Structure 1
């Protein structure tokens, strides 16, 4: 196990070209599982290759256990990498694929045999040791690729989108296997993915990247509940967060956002007018936070017509229109309405997120108006 720290890491492919990585700052403790997540082309795989030593950095430093490894060759970094393509030797058996790195290090044959047996048992592939990669399924090949990395017992494991070639069911199974493996081994791990479900379920820490910049770094729950900007809020979460453009009104020094369904409308207290006035605002709220309004609820509510219903099994996604924008609500199956029905939906101002509609910047008004005063719902004339 080892600590990993990136200090102001930059990567450029030449003068006149935009930097692929820009001032990357990250630090994880020994045994932590770090997820690098973001859309295609955001720089996450480049950053992974820089950590592995497959690409050089243009500036900054990469430290393992406090020692700068930026100038070391890949073989001297004591880092093992599992590639998206598995990169198995097709003419070798599973046993020989796992043992290959150990043989290159000239370990004694008895030690190699013991290590292969240990890894095969850990990954439950003992019955596959005599087969060649062409005789294996995609999930089995993935296990062999992981086994080859595990056999080295490195300080750090790197996984570069290892599940992207698998079908949906196998992805879920292998995701669980990787998490169980990490819980058993407690080895420092960096895992690249564009799948935000993998990011939320696997990581101790998550770094969300866009255009070579880390937009936010924190625990999965911090990033889900307290996103730094609209990009992070939209990228993390399934179904994604709702974004509703707001018209605002100011009264008694407070700013209110108007929610209009075409049937009814309500005012949502947002915070001090001095902090919000003059901005175009975007309201952010996750589907599970928009609830059916109970009778006599003190929270703002608005009546809206159900346009689409999507049962998913454990819950039902219901779509309505607010401010001429499609809004998703996540309800329990027993509360699922029919298309055309009208629902009273409540919004808790304490859970509302606000963003600048132009820049995507997260806005954090200092003090919201108390929510124990009823906000009237009324019909449009």
Structure 2
């Protein structure tokens, strides 16, 4: 196992071309599971290839256990990688695929047999050892690719979107198996994905990337509840966060965010110390679960007409329009209204966020407000 540091890592493919990676800085503790997540083209696979030594960096340093490995060849880095395409040798059996790297390193035959048996048991592929890749399903091939990496016992594992070729059901099953495997092995792992559900469920730490830049780095909980900007807030979460344009106004010395539906209006009070809201275009961010059906006896914050409902099983997604923007609310199935009904909406204002519409940066910290439906339901925001 090992620590991994990326110190101001840059990557460009030629003079005059924009940097693919821009001043990447990350520190991963021994045994941690890091997720690199972002849309296609954000640089996450390039960064992984740089860690593996398949790409040369053009600036900065990659440090493992305090040693700069930036100029080492891939074979000397003691890093194992599982590719998106699995990259299995089609003419070799499963056993031969798993043991190939060990034979190249001239590991004694008795040790190779022990490693193959250990890995096969861990991944539950003992009965597949005599088959060739063409005789395996996608999930079985994925296990073999993992087994080939696991047999080496490297310092660091790299996974480049290993589940993207699997169907939805198998992807969920393999995601659980990968988390169990990491809990048993406790080996430092870097995992690339564009799937934010994988990022939230698998990672100890998550780095959200866009255009070769780390937008935010932290725990899954921090990324979800305290997004640094509009991009992170929109990319992490399913369904995504609601973004409602508001034009703050001052009423009796108090800033308010006006919210309007076809059934009424609400002035949501804001505390904005040190922020001149009059000179800003502001976006209010609310997760779907922060909008709820007002309970019995609770003060209805705002009434809105239901436009669309989407049952998902455990939840029902309800869509209304606020400030001319379609907004999603997540409610329990037994609370679900019908399309066209008037919904009494209550806000969890304590978890609402404010973003600057021009820069996209988050302006606000969380407020300490009463529970939903109680008197004085006030959203408080503090500028950075």
Range into which the TM-score falls when normalised by the shorter chain:
over 0.9
**Runs of at least 4 residues off by over 6 Å:** 365-372
> Aligned partners of 1:274, 1:53: CA distance in 2, in Å?
47
8 Å Cα contact 1:253/1:274 also seen in 2: no
Matching of residue 280 in structure 1 with residue 252 in structure 2: no
8 Å Cα contact 2:32/2:189 also seen in 1: yes
1:30-58 CA-to-partner distances (Å, cap 9, x unmatched) read 00000000000000000000000000101
8 Å Cα contact 1:45/1:192 also seen in 2: yes
> Aligned partners of 2:358, 2:232: CA distance in 1, in Å?
15
Structure 1 stretch 173-182 or stretch 269-278: which is displaced more? 269-278
1:324, distance to aligned residue in structure 2 (A): 1.0
Q: RMSD over aligned Cα, in angstroms?
A: 1.7
Provide the TM-score with structure 2 as the length reference: 0.94
1:62 match: 62
Unpaired segments ≥5 residues, structure 1: 377-381
2:382 match: none
Q: Structure 1's 65 and 257: CA in aligned 2 closer, same or farther, altered over 3 A?
A: same
1:289 match: 290
SS of the counterpart of 2:166?
coil
Q: Structure 1's 92 and 340: CA in aligned 2 closer, same or farther, altered over 3 A?
A: same
> Aligned partners of 2:52, 2:293: CA distance in 1, in Å?
50
1:242 match: 242
SS of the counterpart of 1:277?
helix
Matching of residue 35 in structure 1 with residue 35 in structure 2: yes
> Aligned partners of 1:110, 1:65: CA distance in 2, in Å?
30
1:301 match: 301
8 Å Cα contact 1:119/1:151 also seen in 2: yes
1:216, distance to aligned residue in structure 2 (A): 0.2
1:192-215 CA-to-partner distances (Å, cap 9, x unmatched) read 000000000000000000000000
2:230 match: 230
2:381 match: none
Unpaired segments ≥5 residues, structure 2: 379-384
1:249-284 CA-to-partner distances (Å, cap 9, x unmatched) read 112432111110111110111223751221111110
1:288-347 CA-to-partner distances (Å, cap 9, x unmatched) read 11111235546x711001111111011110111111111000000110111111111112
8 Å Cα contact 2:160/2:193 also seen in 1: yes
Q: Structure 1's 375 and 168: CA in aligned 2 closer, same or farther, altered over 3 A?
A: closer
Provide the TM-score with structure 1 as the length reference: 0.95
8 Å Cα contact 2:123/2:147 also seen in 1: yes
8 Å Cα contact 1:254/1:369 also seen in 2: no
1:130-169 CA-to-partner distances (Å, cap 9, x unmatched) read 0000000000000000000000000000000001111111
Q: Structure 1's 367 and 121: CA in aligned 2 closer, same or farther, altered over 3 A?
A: closer
Matching of residue 52 in structure 1 with residue 52 in structure 2: yes
1:368, distance to aligned residue in structure 2 (A): 7.8
